[in-house]
């Protein structure tokens, strides 16, 4: 709180002083002390009047308007009246009425004098009281309450007639009128008189219930009542001599209860004061004044300490709450400024505002490098104007102009106007002052040039051309004077041409106008502001170039932000957010979403709009969650801060966010940025499409394409039609297959395109089954233009197809027959076939050259003669078979046999031959074999010879024609004698075919010779080796140790060309010999190789199968095999748990795998990365830190996924060593509590089986086995 001025004790003499603020206006204060002089000071401490009294002042008061001051003294019966306008004295009275011109004066004898200042009539009333009148007050209803030393309280009307009277227990003091609250609202207003009785109790006298007054007593420790004030909804603040003040309510339900109590002063309290306009209450005591919030009395707002004073007397506010007067018992008076007028203005990024009653400060809150400048003024300004280079302050009808320079603010000129100025606006050359419904536009002194004529130096608006109107508001931009009138017009005066450029008409009067940064010219097209607050007091445009389309509207409690842009649908205004204003703050400037405000203390403050609140967190995105970044992204997009949204999208790396941002830029018609975004997304098609339209200067055409890309097709059509290329709407509808709309557009835009659109529309209708409309559009599509023969042929083909479907067969068949298009004939034939019109369908198939189809339809119509003619052209065995069956049914067997032969239906051939020659099935087989021999189809002949048991003939035929392999395959499938197998084996042995020789020696039971031949077959390490598989089978059948050792030696031997044999063959050998222990060791080796290669499922299945074999043969599973199986199984089920969302179980299993990470060399980095991610997600922070430390080693760091590298480095840089402890469960052997993931009990040293579902150790009371694999599993887990 700032001290305005101070009056020392010598100004009033020794002792206490009496003072009174001027009512309503609060510009003057009257003071008097022991020197018996009346002093009148203004609010700056300057003397405005000085009078000598003929005694000590015992009372003074201002009338309700603050025009007259009444003073009485203890040595005179004369009332002194001081006129605030003429500064002269006249007779008047002590206590002025609150609403009328009456003055009430009481005497020491109890008499009353009422003086009406309007009529100068004096009404003496003798005997109002029997003793001295010591207190009194007026009510809002013009009632007068008086208290007297006769211990009575009277209530009189304005004529002095006594209305109410009551006796009191002690002397009254501090009489006040107010309204005592009740459940039922009364219309009386001030219905209660209150006064202090004997300094101890508070007396409440309700005029509506005079028989039941209320007297409130308080705790004795508070001391006696010094002062009290009514405020709010029937509340009273009471000050006590011991430094306490108490707040009570007069509502009958709460009366007698203390709502608040505090001891603000240690030794004494002398006065209390309340300012309802400021919302503050003050208590004076000791050497200080304490000020609290009236709505929240517990909040101490400020403390005023008078360091040169030992005690404080009376304290009082002006009615507007701007100034606080504090008097002391020694005669000092201190005036403090508690609330500055909210006077401030902004231009560009600079703000000029009142920092003291006689000081204006100019600052640039955006560019903090610019030093603030102060201007001291001679008079307290009532308005301020600010331009790019000038500062104006003024009051009444005068304005002082100052030039702003780097060195400071220097006076330039002053101007007087023809009326009281309410506001002034400036640009670099002109000033425009608004006064009494007029605007004076004039050049700033020193800014005029010699070339400017006098007529352009000054102009008064409105002039005669505008008629009788009242200007209500105005503003100046670099080029225009803009003003609004009470008739609803907004005028734009172009200063360069010194004439009106245009005007806009509204249906109601204009209150305020707020042009944007550049003063953009307006059109008659009005855009409604959504969610407009009816309590709006003003608006501001953002001064930042990047946010120049952002503006806010303001009430006393909130600002609503809006964004104005020329989007695809045209100029739009969108409500962005609502932001709450701090208490008692007035916005002056909006820049980059930051609101700069002026408060009543003369300070500047700032806040971000809710839509820009994310800006504070933009530099610490690594610390935010995806959900928080998503909320920030939404705000940035809504505020059209697309560059900020890009940064957020990069951090979230979500395709949905990129797409959302790209669509938003398209909506805003920011095509260059949209191209960059789609290029970032990898959408080549959109990039190319946008690059093609980027250069369009037609706004509607550009917006139309943008709407089309956003799939707003109706809007796109409207925009295309309003552009310079309306045919684009037709092209769009055609591309979208919107044929109805395309036809409508073609009628107006391109009639020559109607036939082609009709054809495409007809094809779609035909496809959907609307044949009637399809026929109509096909007929409309015919052009009969030689240039478009192909088009007309397509239309005729459509007519043919649709006519057939509409049962107009004659027309359809005629068109198809005349056409040279074989595919049309085929399509029409298919339609006729579905309609069971066999003859016409077959004929069209035949004409089109589709003989198979034609024969199929002739078969249905039983036209065998036609079939016979076409059969040589038919390749389908099925059709030949159908024809054969038909001929067989007619008894024409020889034709049937030939047809069966063509169809390769051998059983039917045999059946036919049997019927002709009446022979058996073996003979039939021989017959068929001979038939194939004639056809040189020796493979089929050998097959039928074997079927007819003619093995010798088949063998000889195979030897003769080199078909022994075929014979071997056939004989192997059907089975033969040992001699047959030996003869085949010797044949292949002579041909040096070791594989087949060995195979048939194996079938013949000669295992030793079979192995020799298998050993000769070259080994191939790239795939399966059938020879080794058969060799293992031979050794297994032989059960000969010598042969087994030979095979093992062969399998262990390395080949110079291919290296060692695959260990799986050794494993298969051991399994064939039922040597399970050796097989198990081999299985572990194979599994380890697969594991090293990263084939974990293959290795797991191999070990699992081996374990099942060992258990099935009651052989103990080796520990190494079990350990390998545990690791592989843990890795596999860890992934399963993570997919199911059980991240803690997955993390525990991955820790088990990571502890043996050397067993997984192919995927060290991915496994460790997954372990870190799952541990961090599951609360295993210490484990996450440990494995993250491994990943940042040089040998692994470059292999970590770039998306996760920063997060892993953050875990290492900011380690969190907390760890969620593992669940403790009992050992199934000894019952000792141990971690659930441990598989060896430290107490009983037993290895505990693990659950195949969770990887945890088994529990005694939860034991079960998997019904499929018979492995242990927790029963509770299987039930899930």
Distance CA 626, CA 615 (A): 16
Where residue 920 falls among pLDDT bands split at 50, 70, 90?
Answer: very low
Where residue 587 falls among pLDDT bands split at 50, 70, 90?
Answer: very high
Distance CA 120, CA 643 (A): 76
Distance CA 574, CA 639 (A): 10
Q: Which pLDDT score, from 0 to 100, does residue 48 have?
A: 83
The answer on pLDDT for 850 being more than 90 is: no
The DSSP call for residue 142 is S
Residues 549-561 have a mean pLDDT of: 93
Helix, strand, coil in percent for the chain, rounding step 5: 40, 25, 35
Q: Which pLDDT score, from 0 to 100, does residue 380 have?
A: 86
Residue 1039 backbone class (left: φ over 0; alpha: ψ -120 to 50; beta: rest): left
Other beta carbons within 10 angstroms of residue 823's beta carbon come to: 11
Contact 539, 554 (CB under 8 A): yes
List the structure tokens of 1195.
């040998």
Q: Tens digit of pLDDT for each residue in 367-425? A: 888 888 999 988 889 999 999 999 999 999 999 999 998 888 999 999 999 999 999 99
The three-point CA angle 1091-1097-1100 to 5° equals 75
The answer on pLDDT for 1034 being more than 80 is: no
Q: Which pLDDT score, from 0 to 100, does residue 593 have?
A: 92
The answer on pLDDT for 1181 being more than 60 is: yes
Which residues have CB under 8 Å from 1219's CB, separation 6+? 1179, 1180, 1181, 1182, 1183
The answer on pLDDT for 1084 being more than 90 is: no
Contact 880, 874 (CB under 8 A): yes
Contact 900, 909 (CB under 8 A): yes
Distance CA 818, CA 1264 (A): 81
Where residue 916 falls among pLDDT bands split at 50, 70, 90?
Answer: very low
Residue ranges of E strands in 63-167: 68-73, 80-83, 89-91, 95-96, 102-106, 112-116, 121-125, 133-138, 144-148, 152-156, 162-167
Number of helices followed by number of strands (H, E) in the chain: 39, 59
Q: What are phi and psi of 1045, to 5 degrees?
A: -65, -40
Distance CA 251, CA 183 (A): 8
CA 1026 to chain CA centroid, Å, is: 64
Q: Tens digit of pLDDT for each residue in 635-679? A: 999 999 999 999 999 888 888 999 999 999 998 889 999 999 999
List the structure tokens of 139.
């009510």
Contact 301, 291 (CB under 8 A): yes
Residues 822-847 have a mean pLDDT of: 78
List the structure tokens of 484.
């609004």
Distance CA 105, CA 31 (A): 20
Where residue 919 falls among pLDDT bands split at 50, 70, 90?
Answer: very low
The answer on pLDDT for 307 being more than 70 is: yes
What separation in angstroms does the CA of 761 have from each of 727, 767, 784? 18, 10, 19
Distance CA 954, CA 370 (A): 112
Q: Which residue do the tokens 């050796």 mark? A: 1078
Tell me which of 24 and 131 has the higher pLDDT.
131
Helix/strand/coil for 477: coil
The answer on pLDDT for 551 being more than 80 is: yes
Distance CA 937, CA 222 (A): 130
Q: Which pLDDT score, from 0 to 100, does residue 606 have?
A: 92
What's the chain's Rg over C-alpha atoms? 54
Distance CA 384, CA 373 (A): 15
Q: Which pLDDT score, from 0 to 100, does residue 863 have?
A: 65
Contact 169, 205 (CB under 8 A): no
The three-point CA angle 380-386-392 to 5° equals 40
Residues 1129-1149 have a mean pLDDT of: 89
Where residue 79 falls among pLDDT bands split at 50, 70, 90?
Answer: confident
Q: Which pLDDT score, from 0 to 100, does residue 560 have?
A: 95
The answer on pLDDT for 1023 being more than 60 is: no
List residues bridging with 162 in a β-sheet.
156
Other beta carbons within 10 angstroms of residue 470's beta carbon come to: 12
The answer on pLDDT for 251 being more than 80 is: yes
What separation in angstroms does the CA of 1067 have from each of 1023, 1106, 1117, 1126, 1128? 16, 10, 16, 21, 20
The answer on pLDDT for 449 being more than 70 is: no
Contact 249, 257 (CB under 8 A): yes
Where residue 1059 falls among pLDDT bands split at 50, 70, 90?
Answer: very low
Contact 288, 304 (CB under 8 A): yes
Cβ burial of 639 (10 Å; 0-12, 13-18, 19+) is buried
Q: Which residue do the tokens 């995806």 mark? A: 626
Contact 1084, 1124 (CB under 8 A): yes
Q: What are phi and psi of 1173, to 5 degrees?
A: -60, -45
Residues 114-128 have a mean pLDDT of: 87
- Kindly give the interhelix angle for 851-861 and 877-890, rounded to the nearest 10 degrees: 30
**Distance in angstroms between the alpha carbons of the first and the last residue of the chain:** 72
Distance CA 417, CA 431 (A): 12
Q: Tens digit of pLDDT for each residue in 983-1013? A: 777 777 777 777 777 777 777 777 777 777 7
- Determine which helix (DSSP H) or strand (DSSP E) holds 757, and give its type and residue range: helix 754-768
Residues 154-175 have a mean pLDDT of: 93
Q: Tens digit of pLDDT for each residue in 1227-1275? A: 999 999 999 889 889 888 888 999 998 989 999 888 998 888 888 988 8
Lowest-pLDDT range of 82-96, 775-789, 970-984, 999-1013? 82-96
Q: Which pLDDT score, from 0 to 100, does residue 798 have?
A: 86
Residues 879-899 have a mean pLDDT of: 62
Where residue 881 falls among pLDDT bands split at 50, 70, 90?
Answer: low
Other beta carbons within 10 angstroms of residue 227's beta carbon come to: 22
The answer on pLDDT for 299 being more than 80 is: yes
Where residue 748 falls among pLDDT bands split at 50, 70, 90?
Answer: confident
- Determine which helix (DSSP H) or strand (DSSP E) holds 506, and give its type and residue range: none
Using DSSP bridges, classify how beta strands 225-231 and 214-217 pair: parallel, antiparallel or unpaired: unpaired
Q: Which pLDDT score, from 0 to 100, does residue 816 have?
A: 79
Residues across the chain: 1280
Q: Which residue do the tokens 């009983």 mark? A: 1244
Other beta carbons within 10 angstroms of residue 568's beta carbon come to: 23
Which residues have CB under 8 Å from 1178's CB, separation 6+? 1143, 1144, 1146, 1147, 1220
Using DSSP bridges, classify how beta strands 144-148 and 594-599 pair: parallel, antiparallel or unpaired: unpaired
Distance CA 960, CA 981 (A): 18
Tell me which of 914 and 567 has the higher pLDDT.
567
The DSSP call for residue 547 is G
The answer on pLDDT for 855 being more than 80 is: no
Q: Which pLDDT score, from 0 to 100, does residue 361 have?
A: 93
Q: Which pLDDT score, from 0 to 100, does residue 1058 have?
A: 43
Where residue 1117 falls among pLDDT bands split at 50, 70, 90?
Answer: confident
Q: Which pLDDT score, from 0 to 100, does residue 1006 have?
A: 74
- Determine which helix (DSSP H) or strand (DSSP E) holds 6, and give its type and residue range: strand 2-7
Q: For the stretch 885-913, what's the b/e string if a residue is b when 16 or more beta carbons lie within 10 angstroms of its beta carbon?
A: bbbbeeeebebbbbbbbbbebbebbbbbb
Distance CA 993, CA 1171 (A): 56
Residues 500-519 have a mean pLDDT of: 87
Q: Which pLDDT score, from 0 to 100, does residue 914 have?
A: 46
Contact 167, 214 (CB under 8 A): no
Q: Across the chain, what does the average pLDDT equal? A: 83
Helix/strand/coil for 303: strand
Lowest-pLDDT range of 78-82, 121-125, 481-485? 78-82
Kindly state the greatest CA–CA separation across the chain.
Answer: 167
Residues 903-917 have a mean pLDDT of: 52
Q: Return the closest-CA partner of residue 238 out of 180, 277, 199, 266.
A: 199
The answer on pLDDT for 137 being more than 90 is: yes
Q: Which residue do the tokens 């001030």 mark? A: 190
**Per-domain boundaries in the chain:** 352-360+372-455, 462-524, 527-617, 919-976, 1223-1280
Q: Which pLDDT score, from 0 to 100, does residue 185 have?
A: 61
Other beta carbons within 10 angstroms of residue 1006's beta carbon come to: 20
Residues 571-583 have a mean pLDDT of: 91
Q: What are phi and psi of 283, to 5 degrees?
A: -130, 135
**What percent of the chain shows pLDDT beyond 70?**
84
Distance CA 831, CA 851 (A): 17
């Amino acid at each position: 709180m700032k001290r305005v001025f101070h009056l020392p004790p010598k100004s009033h003499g020794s002792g206490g002083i009496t003072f009174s603020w001027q009512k309503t206006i609060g510009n003057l204060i009257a003071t008097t002390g022991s020197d018996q002089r009346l002093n009148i000071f203004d609010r700056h401490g300057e003397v405005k009047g000085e009078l000598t009294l003929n005694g000590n002042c015992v009372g003074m008061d201002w009338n309700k308007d603050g025009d007259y001051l009444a003073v009485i003294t203890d040595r005179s019966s004369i009332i002194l009246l001081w006129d605030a306008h003429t500064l002269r004295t006249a007779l008047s009275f002590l206590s002025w009425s609150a609403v009328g011109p009456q003055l009430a004066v009481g005497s020491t004898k109890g008499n009353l004098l009422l003086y009406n200042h309007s009529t100068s009539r004096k009404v003496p009333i003798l005997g109002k009281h029997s003793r001295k009148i010591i207190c009194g007050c007026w009510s809002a209803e013009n009632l007068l309450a008086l208290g007297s030393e006769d211990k009575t309280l009277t209530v009189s009307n304005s004529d002095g007639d006594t209305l109410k009277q009551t006796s009191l227990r002690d002397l009254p003091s501090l009489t006040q009128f107010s309204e005592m609250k009740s459940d039922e609202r009364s219309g009386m207003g001030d219905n209660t008189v209150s006064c202090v009785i004997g300094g101890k109790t508070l007396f409440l006298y309700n005029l509506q219930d005079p028989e039941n007054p209320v007297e409130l007593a308080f705790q004795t420790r508070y001391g006696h009542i010094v002062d009290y004030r009514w405020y709010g909804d029937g509340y009273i603040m009471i000050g006590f001599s011991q430094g306490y003040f108490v707040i009570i309510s007069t509502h009958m339900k709460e009366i007698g209860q203390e709502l608040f109590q505090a001891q603000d002063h240690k030794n004494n309290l002398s006065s209390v004061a309340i300012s309802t306009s400021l919302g503050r209450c003050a208590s004076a005591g000791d050497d200080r004044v304490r000020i609290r919030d009236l709505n929240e009395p517990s909040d101490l707002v400020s403390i005023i300490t008078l360091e040169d004073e030992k005690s404080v007397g009376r304290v009082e506010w002006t009615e507007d709450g701007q100034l606080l007067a504090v008097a002391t018992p020694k005669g000092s008076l201190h005036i403090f400024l508690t609330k500055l007028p909210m006077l401030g203005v902004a231009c560009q990024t600079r703000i000029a505002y009142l920092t003291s009653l006689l000081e204006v400060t100019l600052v640039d809150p955006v560019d903090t490098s610019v030093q603030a400048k102060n201007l001291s003024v001679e008079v307290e300004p009532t308005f301020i104007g600010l331009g790019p280079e000038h500062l104006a302050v003024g009051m009444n009808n005068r304005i002082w102009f100052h030039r702003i320079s780097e060195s400071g603010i220097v006076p330039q000129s002053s101007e007087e106007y023809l009326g009281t100025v309410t506001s002034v606006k400036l640009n670099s050359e002109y000033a425009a002052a608004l006064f009494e419904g007029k605007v004076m536009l004039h050049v700033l002194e020193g800014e005029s040039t010699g070339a400017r004529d006098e007529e352009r130096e000054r102009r008064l608006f409105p002039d005669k051309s505008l008629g009788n109107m009242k200007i209500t508001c105005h503003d100046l931009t670099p080029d225009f004077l803009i003003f609004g009138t009470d008739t609803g017009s907004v005028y734009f005066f172009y200063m360069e041409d010194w004439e009106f450029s245009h005007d806009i008409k509204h249906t109601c009067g204009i209150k305020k106008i707020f042009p944007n940064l550049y003063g953009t010219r307006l059109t008659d097209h009005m855009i409604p502001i959504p969610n407009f607050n009816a309590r709006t007091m003003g608006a501001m445009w953002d001064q930042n170039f990047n946010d120049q389309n952002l503006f806010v509207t303001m009430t006393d409690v909130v600002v609503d932000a809006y964004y104005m842009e020329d989007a695809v649908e045209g100029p739009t205004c969108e409500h962005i957010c609502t932001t709450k204003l701090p208490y008692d703050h007035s916005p002056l400037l909006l820049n980059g979403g930051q609101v700069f405000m002026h408060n009543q203390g003369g300070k500047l403050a700032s806040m971000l709009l809710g839509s820009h609140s994310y800006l504070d967190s933009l530099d610490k995105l690594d610390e935010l969650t995806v959900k928080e970044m998503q909320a920030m992204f939404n705000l940035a997009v809504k505020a059209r801060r697309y560059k900020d949204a890009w940064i957020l999208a990069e951090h979230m790396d979500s395709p949905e966010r990129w797409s959302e941002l790209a669509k938003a830029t398209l909506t805003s018609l920011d095509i260059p940025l949209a191209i960059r975004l789609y290029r970032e997304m990898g959408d080549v098609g959109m990039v190319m499409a946008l690059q093609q339209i980027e250069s369009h200067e037609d706004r509607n055409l550009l917006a139309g394409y943008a709407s089309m890309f956003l799939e707003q097709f109706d809007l796109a059509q409207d925009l295309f039609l309003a552009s310079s290329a309306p045919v684009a709407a037709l092209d769009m509808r055609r591309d979208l297959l919107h044929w109805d709309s395309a036809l409508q557009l073609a009628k107006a835009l391109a009639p020559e395109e109607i036939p082609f659109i009709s054809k495409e529309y007809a094809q779609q209708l035909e496809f959907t089954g609307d044949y009637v409309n399809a026929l109509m559009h096909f007929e409309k599509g015919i052009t009969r233009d030689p240039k478009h023969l192909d088009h007309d042929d397509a239309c005729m083909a459509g007519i043919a197809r649709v006519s057939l479907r509409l049962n107009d067969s004659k027309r359809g068949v005629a068109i198809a027959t005349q056409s040279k298009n074989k595919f049309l004939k085929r399509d029409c034939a298919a339609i006729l076939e579905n309609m069971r019109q066999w003859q016409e369908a077959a004929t069209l198939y035949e004409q089109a050259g589709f003989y198979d189809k034609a024969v199929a339809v002739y078969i249905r119509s039983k036209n065998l003669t036609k079939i016979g003619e076409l059969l040589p052209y038919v390749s389908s065995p099925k059709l030949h078979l159908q024809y054969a069956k038909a001929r067989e049914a007619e008894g024409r067997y020889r034709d049937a046999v030939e047809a069966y032969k063509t169809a390769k239906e051998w059983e039917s051939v045999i059946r036919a031959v049997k019927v002709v020659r009446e022979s058996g099935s073996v003979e039939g087989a021989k017959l068929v074999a001979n038939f194939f021999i004639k056809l040189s189809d020796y493979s089929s002949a050998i097959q039928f010879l074997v079927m007819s048991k003619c093995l010798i003939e088949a063998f000889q035929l195979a030897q003769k024609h080199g078909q022994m392999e075929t014979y071997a395959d056939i004989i192997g499938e059907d089975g033969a004698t040992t001699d047959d197998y030996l003869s085949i084996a010797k044949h292949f042995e002579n041909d040096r075919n070791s594989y087949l020789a060995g195979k048939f020696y194996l079938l013949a039971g000669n295992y030793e010779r079979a192995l020799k031949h298998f050993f000769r077959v070259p080994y191939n390490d790239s795939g399966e080796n059938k020879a080794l598989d058969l060799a293992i089978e031979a050794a297994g059948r032989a059960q000969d140790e010598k042969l087994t050792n030979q095979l093992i030696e062969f399998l262990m031997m390395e080949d110079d060309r291919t290296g060692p044999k695959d260990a799986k063959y050794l494993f298969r050998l051991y399994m064939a010999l039922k040597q399970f222990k050796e097989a198990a060791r081999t299985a572990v080796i194979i599994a380890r190789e697969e594991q090293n290669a990263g084939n974990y499922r293959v290795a797991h299945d191999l070990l699992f199968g081996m374990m099942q074999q060992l258990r099935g043969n009651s052989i103990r599973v080796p520990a190494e095999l079990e350990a390998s199986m545990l690791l592989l199984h843990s890795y596999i089920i860890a992934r399963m748990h993570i997919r199911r969302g059980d991240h803690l179980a997955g993390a525990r299993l991955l820790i088990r795998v990571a502890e043996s990470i050397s067993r997984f060399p192919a995927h060290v980095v991915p496994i460790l990365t997954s372990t870190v991610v799952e541990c961090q997600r599951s609360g295993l922070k210490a484990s996450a830190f440990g494995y993250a430390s491994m990943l940042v080693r040089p040998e692994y760091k470059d292999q970590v996924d770039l998306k996760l590298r920063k997060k892993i480095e953050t875990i290492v840089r900011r380690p969190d060593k907390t760890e969620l402890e593992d669940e403790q469960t009992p050992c199934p052997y000894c019952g000792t509590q141990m971690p659930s993931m441990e598989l060896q009990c430290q107490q009983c040293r037993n290895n505990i089986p693990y659950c195949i579902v969770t990887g945890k150790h088994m529990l005694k009371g939860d034991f079960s086995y998997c019904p499929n694999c018979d492995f242990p599993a927790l029963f509770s887990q299987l039930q899930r």
